[in-house]
Amino acid sequence: MNNKDDKKMSHFAHVTQAHPCFNEKIHDKVGRIHIPIAPKCNIQCGFCTRSLNDVEKRPGVASCIMSIDEAMNHIRKTVKSMPINVIGVAGPGDSLCNPNTLKLFRKVKEEFPNLILCMSTNGLLVPKYADEIAEVGVKTVTITVNAVDVNIGSKIYDNIEYGGRIYHGVEGFKILLDNQLKGIEMLSKRGVIVKVNSVLIPGVNDKHIKEIASVVKSKGASIMNVLPLIPMNKFKDYERPGCGMLSEVREEVEEYLPVFRACTQCRADAFGIPGKKSDDFSLDLVPNSHY
pLDDT of residue 220: 96
**Mean pLDDT to the nearest integer, 16-42:** 72
Distance separating alpha carbons of residues 258 and 196, to the nearest angstrom:
11
Asked if residue 16 is part of any domain, the answer here is: no
Q: Which residue has the higher pLDDT, 3 or 52?
A: 52
Asked if residue 17 is part of any domain, the answer here is: no
Q: What is the tens place of the pLDDT at every residue in 124-151?
A: 999 999 999 999 999 999 999 999 999 9
pLDDT of residue 41: 95
pLDDT band for position 281 (50/70/90)?
low
Asked if residue 238 is part of any domain, the answer here is: yes
DSSP 30: S
Q: What is the tens place of the pLDDT at every residue in 172-209?
A: 999 999 999 999 999 999 999 999 999 999 999 999 99
Asked if residue 18 is part of any domain, the answer here is: no
Q: Which residue has the higher pLDDT, 133 or 23?
A: 133
Domain with 66 in it: what CATH number? Answer: 3.20.20.70
Asked if residue 4 is part of any domain, the answer here is: no
Asked if residue 126 is part of any domain, the answer here is: yes
User: Are 282 and 63 in contact, with CB atoms under 8 Å apart?
Assistant: yes
pLDDT of residue 291: 43
Q: How many C-alpha atoms does 152 have within 13 Å on its Cβ side?
A: 20
Reduced to 3 states, what is the DSSP secondary structure of residue 165?
A: strand
Distance separating alpha carbons of residues 34 and 272, to the nearest angstrom:
9
Distance separating alpha carbons of residues 53 and 49, to the nearest angstrom:
12
- Average pLDDT, rounded, for the chain: 86
CA nearest to 269, candidates 29, 43, 71: 71
pLDDT of residue 180: 98
Residues recorded for the chain: 291
pLDDT of residue 219: 97
Q: Which residues contact 136 (CB under 8 A, 6 or more apart)?
A: 102, 105, 106, 109, 117
Asked if residue 142 is part of any domain, the answer here is: yes
Asked if residue 290 is part of any domain, the answer here is: no
**Mean pLDDT to the nearest integer, 47-55:** 77
pLDDT of residue 98: 96
pLDDT of residue 287: 42
pLDDT of 111 strictly over 90: yes
Phi, psi angles (nearest 5°) of residue 67: -80, 170
Instruction: Give the number of domains in the chain.
Output: 1
Domain extent for 83 = 31-284
**Mean pLDDT to the nearest integer, 53-63:** 76
Which region, left, alpha or beta, applies to residue 220 given φ > 0 means left and ψ of -120 to 50 means alpha?
Answer: left
| Count of CB atoms situated within 10 Å of the CB of 35 | 29
Distance separating alpha carbons of residues 289 and 112, to the nearest angstrom:
22
pLDDT of residue 233: 86
Q: Which residue has the higher pLDDT, 243 or 31?
A: 243
pLDDT band for position 3 (50/70/90)?
low
